[in-house]
Amino acid sequence: MIAEAVDIEHARSIAEILIAAGAHTDYRDYKGLLPEQHAKDIEIREFLRSKRSMSLKCQCANRIILTGINYKSCLSKNLKNFVLMHQRRDICGSRNMMVSDNGW
């Protein structure tokens, strides 16, 4: 994992490439942690934190999750999946499954 790398410059260059390619720095892992929360080195942690940004689409997905809006009958399959990717996973390790064509 990049956040746990010891070589700061190497980790930074890989993170820059991923971010430039559209990586979402606001996604949480199965424990509910953000990428910077995995960093063992303070410089990497601060670098990742400084690169975290949320598009309006990401902000909306997070707001839908936080407020508990019932979105499943209102959004397309792709948007449902996008919202699910922003949902914090529970600490038991279960991951959200992608929504199938029938909405399940």
State yes or no: pLDDT of 7 exceeds 90: no
Per-residue pLDDT tens for 15-64? Answer: 889 888 988 888 777 787 888 888 888 888 888 888 877 788 888 988 89
- As a whole number of angstroms, the longest Cα–Cα distance in the chain is 46
Per-residue pLDDT tens for 53-79? Answer: 778 888 898 889 889 899 989 999 999
| Contacts of residue 86, Cβ cutoff 8 Å, sequence gap at least 6 | 26, 27, 28, 58, 61, 62, 65
Model-wide pTM > 0.85: no
Question: What does the alpha-carbon distance between residue 44 and residue 66 come to, in Å, rounded to a whole number?
Answer: 28
State yes or no: pLDDT of 11 exceeds 90: no
Q: How many CB atoms lie within 10 A of CB 99?
A: 19
What pLDDT, on the 0 to 100 scale, is given for residue 5? 63
What pLDDT, on the 0 to 100 scale, is given for residue 88? 63
Give 90's DSSP letter. P
Q: How many CB atoms lie within 10 A of CB 49?
A: 14
Of 45, 3, 51, which Cα lies nearest the Cα of 24?
51
